[in-house]
Structure 1
Amino acid sequence: MRDDKASTANPDGNDAGAAECRALPLAQRMAARGLHHVLALQIARMALRLGFTATAAVAAGKLVMNDPVDSLLISLAIILLVGAAVAGFLADRAQAAAEADVAIRLREAASARLNAMPPRQLKQLPVGTLVVAMQRHPEAIASLVIGHRAASMMMAVGPLAAAAALFLVSWQAAVLVICLTPVMILFFALVGDIIRSRAAAQERAFGRLAGQFADRIRALPTILANHALSSEETKLAGRLESYARETMGVLGIAFINAGIIDFFASLSIALLAVFLGLGHLKLMMIPGFSNLELWQSLFILMIAPDYFAPFRRFSEQYHAKAEGLAAAAALGRLLDVDAPERLAIAALDRPLAPLPNHGLVAIVGPSGSGKSTLLRRLAGIEQAVTLGQPELTDFIWVSPDCLTPEGTLAEAIAWRLPVLPCEKLREAANAVGLLDDALLPGGLDARLTRGGGNLSGGQKLRISVARALLAGRTVIADEPTAKLDAGTAGLVREALVEMSHSHLVVVATHDRELAAAGRMMIDLSNDGTFEVAA
């Protein structure tokens, strides 16, 4: 069993237990220091930019009106402009460095979580999805907790600072730009639900594509042997097209969101320009827009874009939020595969009715209720506290993860069994449909690679069932019909029932037909507690 100390969080947040896998809270703790640095530089850039806008407006107004311009004012404007550019460069660099640091540390925490997993749980993870997730998800989560978080905080600070600057010259102008803010926030809320659903669909499509690609690479020898390359290529192309379609959907919504911000920004600046122009031409006397000096009007028109800049930046980062949340949820589901089962473990530590000497015993219940855990405890693979049932000793394990040695199909079936006549091997293989499998040409002489790399999970499972038929021992089977079509599932079901006539067969299963054929049923559907039916 996994040591409980693996779940202990370290102060720096770089721990395996935290990645069990509440990825988002872990990333937020990792991002705290870098986020503060990024915010400080972005605020400095904003302040320097506002200072440059003020000095540039005053200087431009004086030049247009042929008033003398102090050289110190020009020098100050240049210094503020250079300072704003340098602060912007440092802010972007700090953001990139902070996101890279969070992604690296999050990937290390996820790797530590994988290293702490028992091999049984590790083998449950889809290889393709896992590899891609370890590459993609940390970056997406880092963009969420650094880039998007900084943009959302600056959306609160930046417009207030710009509105305050406008208020010093014309409070009416400040009120005009502020009045458009609730409308933009409303659009953010409406677009947010759409882009979140699109990002989740994109993540699911990518996971399916990665999983199918890895599965086809693993089974490539079988695909080539059966001339199925073109059909598998078509299936992968369909997955790729689905992912591309979902990706374009996310980008399309993001562009619409950015377009909304640009529309309202342009509308407000156009209104300001019209009101200020009418005031200067004395065509309309509007309070706050009339009787202004030229530099004041220029100041208002130059500050207005700074008011909307944080909203535009936030809209650019809005898709990062949706993608980051989807990535955090996907990474959490991927690396916390045993979370539901852990909830059921405490309920499993209680007495269990004695098992019969022979017959089929079915352990049933929803996913995560503890079926596999109880099965491993009965086998002595995991420690039981108060099961009250002696550990099963002389047994053979049946599952899609059973070891398949390199060699022929006959050698795989007879692995670790006494020498058996070829006819017995043929009968066992035929009983579970291995000799009729078109993807295993050659019958008992079919060649298998090390670990069954050229086999599907269903084929591995049927080899372990055939081995159990010949072993003449207690059988412990974990989901023995889960990866089979209806026909082969029926053959395996019949084989297990046949073995139960003379030996004890214990199965953890969702198969109702198999469970109904049992002599005893252990139902874990009631919060992991035992309900035994003879």
Structure 2
Amino acid sequence: MNKDKASNTNSECVHSGADKIDVLALARDSAKTSLRAVFTVQIARLVLRLGFSATAAMIAGRLVMDQPVQPWLPILAIGLLACSSVVGLFGDKMQANAETTIATGLRDVAGATLNAMSPRQLNQLPVGTLVVAMQRHPESVAALVIGHRMASMMMGIGPIAAAAMLLLVSWQAAILVICLTPVMILFFALIGDAIRSRAAVQERAFGRLAGQFADRIRALPTILANHALAEEEKKLSARLETYARETMGVLGIAFINAGIIDFFASLSIALLAVFLGLGHLKLMMIPGFSDLALWQSLFILMIAPEYFAPFRRFSEQYHAKAEGLAAANALDRLLNADSPEAVATAALDRPFSVLPQHGLVAITGPSGSGKSTLLRRLARLEPAESPVPAISGDVAWVSTDSFVAGRTLREAICWKLPLVSPTKLSDAANAVGLLDDALLPGGLDAPLTRGGGNLSGGQRLRVSVARAILSGRTVVADEPTAKLDAATAALVRQALLGLAHSRLVVVATHDRELAGAAKQTIDLSNNENIEVAA
């Protein structure tokens, strides 16, 4: 692939405001030149392998039958074998280089797209998604458009060439191996959906693992200082076990598919060997298998495996297809994520119900639908071009990126609040599980580094919730139960529902349980404004 050309194409895709980036189409377009070159080399390798098999069969048959062997035949066989090995090695190297070049180009596209995003839009992208997108997805897509595509093309050419060779000796033998082809294709179709769904689950599992790991790296000083490494290692190990289980599920299905191909290939070759053997022993007169010279029988037995080899190679690459499609879809979601500002502006072009004086209002919708932007505009943290029912009075902002001040947990919760009684402070911290957090020993006197640098995203969020409880203000929360385990999320959910009895609480959330308890729901997935009875 011409790297400069790929870079220009990538740049056009990134800077085109109207066009969406189709990662798979971009990769396939970039792979065309390399694919043709690799395909040509693989065809040459196939011809050389078939030629060697035919020559070796002739030599073996003549030697067994004590017939003279011309000196040029062994030389030709050795030459064909050597050339086949060299061409195969060259073709594999070309394929590896092509996949590396395409992966690099896709990584450049992702990097340029991320650089073009606003800092807040970048901050809203899950860390795990970014890690997987930059590290693994480009290689998976490259393996799909080169490795899997090459196996698919060879599966269309290789068996035809081998069957044509068999027809030169026995059309009955050719028909026997061809009859098993629909069975293998049927298994490919049956296994395809299963392996694709497992690959998608595997990709999400790795994203969650990467996100949790990044969050723990951020809080590593606190983890080490409180001797909590073993506990956090156990949590990461659980995520790793989940990812490993999904990976083995994908590979297991792929290996089963390969095993099925091997079974039918072995069955076919065994039938050929039995029929040919019975014909040579004159025990059974089967048309196309009797009255053959020994070299012809050996020729059939050596060419038959070449017929099934492309199917076996394709089955080995089947998991690459599933992983590549899952990776391409994930990259599409990342690179084509609409600007939150644009999505929110579109959402605000429709009428809104008046926000209640108190109660829970939930903004729901898929990632990238503009929930956070709409939340900021409702809280008057950002200007809105369209009229919105802005929240009156002061608001208490809750999110994982909330600012944390002070040198202790007590100071962080009480930051910019009027004098708070110790009892209320303790109750607020306890309501969100901060006093029971093993990574924050010392209770309210737990030491914090500057800006809360030693806090995880979940701890930072709970500090802002505790501060909101004490503020007496309208609470505006962005994903208030994100990055929390089930028990802690339940505490935060209960605290917010308790606040909603006496004041307005507006949340942007994926939490179905929290959204289900809302008095009013603004659904951005289908531009609905659903009123729910209190």
The TM-score, its normalising length taken from structure 1, stands at 0.80
In the other structure, the counterpart of 1:27 is 27
Cα distance between partner residues in 2 of 1:252 and 1:479: 37
Cα distance between partner residues in 2 of 1:259 and 1:515: 53
Q: What letter matches 2:363 in structure 1?
A: V
In the other structure, the counterpart of 2:274 is 274
In the other structure, the counterpart of 1:6 is none
Q: Does the 8 A contact of 1:469 with 1:499 survive in 2?
A: no
In the other structure, the counterpart of 1:183 is 183
In the other structure, the counterpart of 1:438 is 436
Cα distance between partner residues in 1 of 2:21 and 2:403: 29
Cα distance between partner residues in 2 of 1:529 and 1:133: 32
Cα distance between partner residues in 1 of 2:465 and 2:241: 39
Q: Does the 8 A contact of 1:95 with 1:147 survive in 2?
A: yes
3-state SS of paired residue (2:168): helix
Q: Does the 8 A contact of 1:375 with 1:478 survive in 2?
A: yes
In the other structure, the counterpart of 1:11 is 9
Q: Does the 8 A contact of 2:379 with 2:391 survive in 1?
A: yes
Q: What letter matches 1:206 in structure 2?
A: F
- 1:317-466 matched pairs, under 5 angstroms: 317-333=317-333, 345-350=345-350, 362=361, 364-367=363-366, 370-378=370-378, 384-387=384-387, 397-405=397-405, 407-409=407-409, 411-413=411-413, 417=416, 423-424=419-420, 429-430=425-426, 432-433=428-429, 437-439=435-437, 440-442=440-442, 445-465=445-465
Number of residue-to-residue matches in the alignment = 513
Q: What letter matches 1:402 in structure 2?
A: S
In the other structure, the counterpart of 1:206 is 206
Cα distance between partner residues in 1 of 2:268 and 2:515: 66
Pair 1:528 & 2:527 matched? yes
Q: Does the 8 A contact of 1:347 with 1:529 survive in 2?
A: no
| Structure 1 residue 157 displacement after superposition | 0.6
Cα distance change, pair 17–451 in 1 and its aligned pair in 2 (3 A): farther
Percent same amino acid among aligned pairs?
Answer: 63
| 125-134 vs 31-40, greater mean Cα deviation | 125-134
Cα distance between partner residues in 1 of 2:353 and 2:258: 64
| 1:90-138 deviation per Cα after TM superposition (whole angstroms, max 9, x unaligned) | 1111111111112222222222333333333333344345324532232
| Structure 1 residue 179 displacement after superposition | 1.0
Q: Does the 8 A contact of 1:202 with 1:243 survive in 2?
A: yes
In the other structure, the counterpart of 2:236 is 236
Cα distance change, pair 477–271 in 1 and its aligned pair in 2 (3 A): closer
3-state SS of paired residue (1:284): coil
Cα distance between partner residues in 2 of 1:514 and 1:181: 56
Cα distance change, pair 403–344 in 1 and its aligned pair in 2 (3 A): closer
3-state SS of paired residue (2:91): helix
- 1:29-428 matched pairs, under 5 angstroms: 29-128=29-128, 130-224=130-224, 228-333=228-333, 345-350=345-350, 362=361, 364-367=363-366, 370-378=370-378, 384-387=384-387, 397-405=397-405, 407-409=407-409, 411-413=411-413, 417=416, 423-424=419-420
Cα distance between partner residues in 2 of 1:468 and 1:215: 23
Cα distance between partner residues in 2 of 1:277 and 1:490: 79
Unaligned runs of 5+ in 2: 1-6
3-state SS of paired residue (2:51): helix
Q: Does the 8 A contact of 2:141 with 2:327 survive in 1?
A: yes
| 1:33-58 deviation per Cα after TM superposition (whole angstroms, max 9, x unaligned) | 22222211111111122223233333
3-state SS of paired residue (1:523): strand
| Structure 1 residue 147 displacement after superposition | 0.9
Cα distance change, pair 290–367 in 1 and its aligned pair in 2 (3 A): closer
Q: Does the 8 A contact of 1:162 with 1:306 survive in 2?
A: yes
| Structure 1 residue 186 displacement after superposition | 2.2
Q: Does the 8 A contact of 1:350 with 1:386 survive in 2?
A: no
| 273-282 vs 150-159, greater mean Cα deviation | 273-282
3-state SS of paired residue (2:436): coil
Cα distance change, pair 402–282 in 1 and its aligned pair in 2 (3 A): same
| 1:432-491 deviation per Cα after TM superposition (whole angstroms, max 9, x unaligned) | 326962334445543222442332434423443565678898765434466554444444
Cα distance between partner residues in 2 of 1:327 and 1:10: 23
In the other structure, the counterpart of 2:4 is none
| Structure 1 residue 394 displacement after superposition | 7.6
Cα distance change, pair 425–24 in 1 and its aligned pair in 2 (3 A): farther
| 1:43-91 deviation per Cα after TM superposition (whole angstroms, max 9, x unaligned) | 1111122223233333444444455544444444333322222221111
Cα distance between partner residues in 2 of 1:219 and 1:524: 34
Q: Does the 8 A contact of 2:209 with 2:239 survive in 1?
A: yes
3-state SS of paired residue (1:432): helix
In the other structure, the counterpart of 1:4 is none
Cα distance change, pair 191–35 in 1 and its aligned pair in 2 (3 A): same
Q: Does the 8 A contact of 2:345 with 2:386 survive in 1?
A: no
Q: Does the 8 A contact of 1:434 with 1:462 survive in 2?
A: no
Cα distance between partner residues in 1 of 2:371 and 2:249: 40
Cα distance change, pair 257–529 in 1 and its aligned pair in 2 (3 A): closer
Q: What letter matches 1:528 in structure 2?
A: N
Cα distance between partner residues in 2 of 1:412 and 1:109: 41
Q: Does the 8 A contact of 1:35 with 1:146 survive in 2?
A: yes
The TM-score, its normalising length taken from structure 2, stands at 0.80
Query: RMSD of the alignment, in Å?
Result: 4.0
Cα distance between partner residues in 1 of 2:312 and 2:516: 59
| Structure 1 residue 315 displacement after superposition | 1.8
3-state SS of paired residue (2:136): helix
Cα distance change, pair 426–337 in 1 and its aligned pair in 2 (3 A): farther
Q: What letter matches 2:166 in structure 1?
A: L
Cα distance change, pair 341–60 in 1 and its aligned pair in 2 (3 A): farther
| Structure 1 residue 360 displacement after superposition | 6.9
Q: Does the 8 A contact of 1:15 with 1:112 survive in 2?
A: no
Cα distance change, pair 175–367 in 1 and its aligned pair in 2 (3 A): closer
In the other structure, the counterpart of 2:3 is none
| 1:372-401 deviation per Cα after TM superposition (whole angstroms, max 9, x unaligned) | 232233456666443367899986643221
Cα distance between partner residues in 2 of 1:427 and 1:28: 64
Q: Does the 8 A contact of 2:173 with 2:289 survive in 1?
A: yes
Q: Does the 8 A contact of 1:360 with 1:507 survive in 2?
A: no
Q: Does the 8 A contact of 1:13 with 1:26 survive in 2?
A: no
Cα distance change, pair 447–280 in 1 and its aligned pair in 2 (3 A): same
Q: Does the 8 A contact of 1:280 with 1:292 survive in 2?
A: yes
Cα distance between partner residues in 2 of 1:92 and 1:459: 50
| 1:178-203 deviation per Cα after TM superposition (whole angstroms, max 9, x unaligned) | 11111222232333344334434443
Q: What letter matches 1:433 in structure 2?
A: A
Cα distance between partner residues in 2 of 1:354 and 1:256: 58
Q: What letter matches 2:289 in structure 1?
A: F
Q: Does the 8 A contact of 1:348 with 1:370 survive in 2?
A: no
Q: What letter matches 2:145 in structure 1?
A: V
Cα distance change, pair 370–251 in 1 and its aligned pair in 2 (3 A): closer
Q: Does the 8 A contact of 2:344 with 2:374 survive in 1?
A: no
| Structure 1 residue 248 displacement after superposition | 3.2
| Structure 1 residue 414 displacement after superposition | 6.2
| Structure 1 residue 292 displacement after superposition | 2.6
| 1:252-283 deviation per Cα after TM superposition (whole angstroms, max 9, x unaligned) | 33333222222222222222223223333433
Cα distance change, pair 215–151 in 1 and its aligned pair in 2 (3 A): same
Unaligned runs of 5+ in 1: 1-8
